[in-house]
Structure 1
Amino acid sequence: MEEYRLLIKRIIMFIGLIAIVFAFGTIGYMIIEKWPFIESLFMTAITISTVGYSLPEQISNAGKIFSMILILSGVSIVLYGISSVTSIFLEGDLQKYLTLRRRMKMIEKLRDHHIIVGVGRTGRHIVSEFLRSGEPFVVIDVDEEKIKHLETLFDKEFPYIIGDASDEDTLVKAGVKRAKSLVTTLPDDTKNVFVVLSARTMNPRLNIISRASDASAMRKLLYAGVTSVVTISEIAGVRMAMMALNPDLISFLDVVTFSGERNLRMELIKVPENSPVVGKTLAELQIPQRTGLIIISMKKGGSYIFNPKGDTRIEAGNALVVLGDLEGVNKMKEIVKKG
């Protein structure tokens, strides 16, 4: 972002120098030749532009010397302006600026999106999962090279902001007030706390998930207003123990969670109030036959019904936890939406 600020400063400086030269020339002619303002301004304009008008007969020697100084100043400023504009095209600054504007407009249109803070080893996997899900998201990181590396790795572009996520201006640019969730994966627990504090202040309804290195950091994050905390070491320890105790089960869960050959995934599909499936039973909908999905559970209020029976009736606000491939999940979403 700093390079774009420098570009704007360069353009503003050029305009400012032109204005200073015009003011210098106009005031100079008014003092030296005692000309009115309009005549002095006009003389300054034709002198700087070197359009070739002849000098007034009554101009003094002091005025001639002043005109030469003004011509040299004007030419120097014009050459500076040309070199600045040329560098914009040659160095690709214009293209970078236009790309930034397009990316910012894309972010401004997002609603109910997700914000991913940090694209290190943890953030990379999160970006991969969001790209696979098709959910809209914005990435925040201080290192643009890391983001560009991910775009190359996944062969897909996505909106991002270069900046410090603990800075409110950065979160505003990412659309935190319109976002559905924020996931912060920074390796520094203190920075995660500041990100959570800023995000919670700006959006009290935001679902905030943060990584933590230990239990003390977890308590600080909870005080800061985080919704959920993930302790990387705990998850790694449990997984390694399960791999030793139940290797076959872990292999199956890997297929479900991390997309094996069949691209299986587990999804929670919410049923809105106006859905045509409200009031119908699972048997009537024939979900396995129509989508190939397995219904693992149904969420009713704050509780889950595991392996729901066919006579279970769907109500508005329920959610179905299903297992299957992406095509089947998309079919199920269409059924919930259109019947």
Structure 2
Amino acid sequence: MNQRPRQGPVRTLPGLRATTIVALWLGIVTVLMIVGALGYVWLQKGWSFFDGLYMSVNVLATLGFGGDHALGRAGKVWTMVLSVMSVGVIFGTVGLMAQLLIEQAGSGRRRDRRMQKQIDRLQGHYIICGYGRVGSMVADELIGEGRDVVVVDIDQTSTVRAQEDGLLTVPGTATDDETLLQAGIVRARGLVTCVDSDPDNVFVVLTARALNPDLFIVGRAGSKEVLAKLQQAGADRAVSPYVMGGRRMAQLAIRPAVVDFIDSAMSTSTLDFSIEEIPVPADSRLVGMTVGRLRAHGIFTLAILKGAAAYRHAPLDDQLIESEDHLIVSGTSDSLRALDEV
């Protein structure tokens, strides 16, 4: 299942109605003040429009007569009429606003239920904890790769922004078991924690690893010292944006063409050529196959990862592919998609 396409900011019907109700209320009050003022001018001899407006505002605002103008019988009747109308406006507005609040609450609950049902259907998705600058960039990359993404963030502004970007969200703290379970951590393929606090990132890793021992976890570190702590907590990879940014800038200065080529190969939207990692489980059809057979189908094996960190670079054609290997391969999109048919 691909991530649903991004969409523009969502304006709900209740949100539009709130603006309409306020504008309508202001319009009615303005009309009542003007009509009330004209009524006093017509009924009370010698009154100016300002006198009538003063009395009209007094009646509509306080439901009483506190002016220093003597009223005749007709003026008193008109005051009672204005008072009744002002009461109607007040109660009508209160009723509409109460209905609006109820509808907003109900609409929010229905939206949350629909979103949770979508999350419950996901398999092999990625969870992003923290939707700040780093988290939003991670989401962009994952969606560009056609991956399903669920965002977990305790900040309402961040979750609303993620929803406006077309993402599924779970509001809450990522250090809470229930929040991660709602995000489908048991069925997820990977988790990226990039909240602002290093201690929180470490605790998220601990919590996620306990809930899903097979989950691939990437943790963000604000400093070099935290990198080791994240890996000790159970992160498969620990990344410092500052360290990585510094290394990348240095590599761009030294060998820009190499960096540009790798970037192009890693981006599925730039070239019809990419570099991919292919895990080989025990039941894979690739087990026992040679590297040369893959080459015959347009798939070039750049390296084979055996064990924790034992790479075999540029393996020969007679190299056998074994269970639990990880192949680093390159090829066109069509050849990589046809890998299962090899």
The answer to whether TM tops 0.5 is yes
Give the structure, 1 or 2, with the largest relative contact order (CA under 8 Å, sep 6 or more). 2
Q: TM-score range by the shorter chain?
A: 0.5 to 0.7
Contact 2:193–2:219, Cα closer than 8 Å, also in 1: yes
Contact 2:125–2:188, Cα closer than 8 Å, also in 1: yes
Whole-angstrom distance in 2 between the partners of 1:278 and 1:329: 17
Q: TM-score, normalised by structure 1?
A: 0.63
Could you tell me how far 1:127 is from its partner in structure 2?
0.9
Give the number of aligned pairs: 248
* 1:318 aligned residue (316, 325, 339): 325
Whole-angstrom distance in 2 between the partners of 1:328 and 1:312: 20
In structure 2, relative to structure 1, the CA distance for the partners of 1:327 and 1:127 (3 Å cut) is: farther
* 1:169 aligned residue (165, 178, 186): 178
- Could you tell me which residue of structure 2 aligns to residue 227 of structure 1? 236
- Could you tell me which residue of structure 2 aligns to residue 280 of structure 1? 289
- Could you tell me which residue of structure 2 aligns to residue 136 of structure 1? 148
Amino acid at match of 1:316: S
- Could you tell me which residue of structure 2 aligns to residue 307 of structure 1? 314
Amino acid at match of 2:141: E
Amino acid at match of 1:265: S
Whole-angstrom distance in 1 between the partners of 2:228 and 2:321: 38
Whole-angstrom distance in 2 between the partners of 1:327 and 1:148: 37
Amino acid at match of 1:211: R
Q: TM-score, normalised by structure 2?
A: 0.62
Whole-angstrom distance in 2 between the partners of 1:319 and 1:220: 26
- Could you tell me which residue of structure 1 aligns to residue 118 of structure 2? 106
* 1:248 aligned residue (254, 257, 261): 257
Q: Which runs of 5+ in 1 are unaligned?
A: 1-79
Contact 1:254–1:260, Cα closer than 8 Å, also in 2: no
Amino acid at match of 1:119: Y
- Could you tell me which residue of structure 2 aligns to residue 16 of structure 1? none
**Identity, % of aligned positions:** 32
Aligned positions of 1:45-56 closer than 5 A: none
The two structures, once aligned, show a CA RMSD in angstroms of 3.0
In structure 2, relative to structure 1, the CA distance for the partners of 1:168 and 1:81 (3 Å cut) is: farther
In structure 2, relative to structure 1, the CA distance for the partners of 1:309 and 1:219 (3 Å cut) is: closer
Could you tell me how far 1:86 is from its partner in structure 2?
6.7
Could you tell me how far 1:166 is from its partner in structure 2?
1.7
In structure 2, relative to structure 1, the CA distance for the partners of 1:294 and 1:285 (3 Å cut) is: closer
Whole-angstrom distance in 1 between the partners of 2:324 and 2:228: 32
Whole-angstrom distance in 2 between the partners of 1:103 and 1:260: 28
In structure 2, relative to structure 1, the CA distance for the partners of 1:280 and 1:167 (3 Å cut) is: closer
- Could you tell me which residue of structure 2 aligns to residue 297 of structure 1? 303
Q: Which runs of 5+ in 2 are unaligned?
A: 1-93
In structure 2, relative to structure 1, the CA distance for the partners of 1:255 and 1:286 (3 Å cut) is: closer
Aligned positions of 1:1-339 closer than 5 A: 88-89=102-103, 91=104, 93-150=105-162, 157-259=166-268, 261-262=270-271, 264-289=273-298, 293-302=299-308, 303-332=310-339, 334-335=340-341, 339=342
Query: SS where residue 318 of structure 2 aligns?
Result: coil
